[in-house]
Structure 1
Amino acid sequence: MSNQQTRLAAGDAELTIDQGNGCRISGLSIGGTELLRQGERYGCFPMVPWCGRLNHGRFLNGATPHQLPLNSPPHAIHGTGRDAAWRTARAEKSEAAFTYDLADPWPYDGRVTQAFGLSEDSLVLTMGIETYGDSFPAQAGWHPWFLRNLGGADDKDVVIDFAPAWQEERGDDHLPTGQRVPPRPGPWDDCFGMPDGVDVTLTWPGRLELKVTSRAEWVVVYDEQAEAVCVEPQSGPPNGLNTTPRFVTPIEPLEIETIWTWRRL
């Protein structure tokens, strides 16, 4: 992996992007306090060209079957973008954009663009997928690992607050069954529907409130680990290439945006 990184700053907010390691955010600090779990697998990585688990790594494009490597047996998970080195398209003081071309093992040609815009109280993330030829089903989203506890002597654990319309029932294989059920209490490794757009608030009591919003209608919440919690806005549910395919066509790219806004408490 390349250790090439890009740093953005606005006010006392600092963002570090590791374009050589999947174009992930490796750090987001506010006033010197790091919000993301550290480590080469963590931070916040893009999920593209699919999100979450893909059933046994298989999907159809029309009548054409495809098999992807099982990087989380028995499934394929989180796309290929997080394993790629991305190219810098532009980098300024508080904005940057990066691209990578879809390649094996993904069977279709296309380009992914991810852009970052930092201000003193917000971060805007956008991602787009365009095809160079054939249409294909795809998804995009983000997988941030927010620290459960910011590490101060008197700090309390983060509280997650959201009001989804439904929860995608999760089967024993960790895939949605296709049934929508009333939202259940955590702990979660679950996908939720928010048809008016993703809107999740993370509160570190007495320290910081951070809102994750998106016009996307699905969010996966994962809080089964001690160190971090994940709030993942995405363009479709896990296994969605099979159940709710959204096609990238020559005239209609896939575009998604999420905005993180924060304020001190």
Structure 2
Amino acid sequence: MDTSLVTTEIREGYRVLTLNRPDRLNSFSAAMHAELMAALVAAEADTSCRAMLLTGAGRGFCAGQDLSDGVFTPGETPDLSVTIATYYNPLVRKLRSLPMPVICAVNGVAAGAGANVAFACDIVIAARSAKFIQAFAKLGLVPDAGGTWILPRLVGTARARALALLAEPVPADQAEAWGMIWKSVDDADLMTEAHRLATHFATQPTAGLALMKQALDASEINSLDQQLDLECDLQGQAGRTPDYLEGVTAFMEKRAPRFVGRQ
């Protein structure tokens, strides 16, 4: 039995990271944070890894922060900013900056920071039984792990405010309809679809996709002029990659491209 709090499975061209505290609905502890960050760093360092798939073991994806993991002591006032600065902010930044597509397969409840960590990934697919909950209001807290930034951009201001203030669960089908996630699928098909996506990305022009991620993130705060200049710079970089030459050559030769991926 694997006692790791985050397991890593190395497939051809991609890695599968699984949050592995099923008895706690994969809620975050300091130890699990450390293992997840180490797994992300290892995936980034492996140039043969061209995509990453994140999911959870058991019946849930992630229930957010484990309140029994030293962040709350009866009668004491905690400084939660330390937990955020030490663990959640670096995790979200790492997920957003990985030079490869990151797929999140939500296999059950994604609550609090668990939901927002999922939203930090590039493509989110969810089992139809899954639910997304901004649970913070139930504890008198503010959405963290990037929730106040990414949620309005996914679903709009009105829905983001209501979801944060009311802490009502959003079923996977509704999350898809609102643009909160890419798609919902039958529970039995979740991992098949997730692996299909990862296998696809394992053969794609990874360096170009990484530049695309960079451009899309920057567009949230750039003016049009700034974004046009950034597109110009990034396209220049993309055009100097071996995959661009291969893509054009394959198109001219009417064959499937053989992209090398990360440089």
Q: State the TM-score bracket (shorter-chain normalisation).
A: under 0.3
**Structure whose residues are more often strand by fraction:** 1
Of the two structures, which has the highest relative contact order with CA contacts closer than 8 Å and spacing of 6 or more? 1
Larger Cα-atom Rg: 2
